[in-house]
Structure 1
Amino acid sequence: MPASSQDTLLHIAERTHWESAHTAGVPYTMSTLGRTLDEEGFIHCSSDMTQVDGVLDRFYSGIDRADLVLLVIDTSRLDAPVRHEPVGDDVFPHVYGPIPLSAVIEVRSLPRKL
C-alpha cells in the first residue's frame, strides 16, 4: 500500500546527483541546487506540488526540467528528523540528515514548463 501524501515529502533533485547516489548505493546528500547537506545543514523538501511548482519557478527556472527529477520520500523510512520551518510566507519541510535510498519510494520526471 503506498504511503499517503501526509507521510511523504517531495524533493527536487538534479538528475545526475540522484543517479550518482543511486548507482553507488549511498544515501542522497544534496540539499538543493548545487548545495550539499553539509553546506546547508538540511535537505530542502516540499509538502505538495504547489510548493514544488513555486520552488521550480523561483530557483530552477534556468534549469532544463529534463535535468531534474522529483523524489517522493517516505518519511517513515528516514533516520533523520524532519522539521517544518517557515521560509518567507510558507512552511517547508527540511530533513536534517541524509536520505536513505530505501526512503525514496518513487522518482518522477518533472513536467515541462508551459
Structure 2
Amino acid sequence: MPIIYHVTTAAEWNAAKQVGAYESPSLKAEGFIHCSQENQVAGVLERYFAGKTNLVKLVIDTDKLTSRFVFEWSPSTEDTFPHVYGMINIDAVVDVVELN
C-alpha cells in the first residue's frame, strides 16, 4: 500500500466528497494532480501554501487509485514527485489531516 499525499483546502476537499472524486486545478491546466511523498510535504507547504489557512493533507493509497499515477522528475526542485493523471477517487483517500 504505497502512500502519497496531496495538499488542498478543506473547502476543495468537501466539494470533492459531494461529487465523489477530487480534481485540482492543475489537472485541467497541466494534465495531472501534483502529489508528494511524506518527506516532500513540508517543502510543498513552504513553496506553494505559505500564509494560507484551512489546509488539509490527503493521504492517498495508490493501490486504490482508479487513475494512473507515476513518479516524475521536477527540474525546479531537482526531485521526483508522484503525479496522478486523472481525478482522485474518494475511496483512495484513506485519511485527511488538518494542517492548520
TM-score (norm. length: structure 1) = 0.80
Q: C-alpha separation between the residues in 2 aligned to 1:77 and 1:25?
A: 18
Is residue 21 from structure 1 mapped to residue 16 from structure 2 by the alignment?
A: yes
Give secondary structure in 1 for the equivalent of 2:4.
strand
Q: Structure 1 unaligned runs (5+)?
A: none
Higher relative contact order, structure no. (Cα contacts within 8 Å, ≥ 6 residues apart): 2
Q: Tell me which of 94, 97, 100 is aligned to 1:108.
A: 97
Per residue, is there more strand in 1 or in 2? Answer: 2
> Which residue of structure 2 lines up, in the alignment, with residue 41 of structure 1?
31
* Structure 2, gaps ≥5 residues long: none
Question: What is the DSSP-based 3-state SS (H/G/I as helix, E as strand, rest coil) of the residue aligned with 1:94?
Answer: strand
CA distance in structure 1 between the aligned counterparts of 2:13 and 2:43, rounded to whole angstroms: 21
TM-score (norm 2): 0.90
Whole-Å Cα distance in 2 between the matches of residues 37 and 69 of structure 1? 18
Instruction: Please tell me the root mean square deviation across aligned C-alpha atoms, in Å.
Output: 1.3
Moved over 4 A (4+): none
Q: CA deviation at 1:40?
A: 2.1
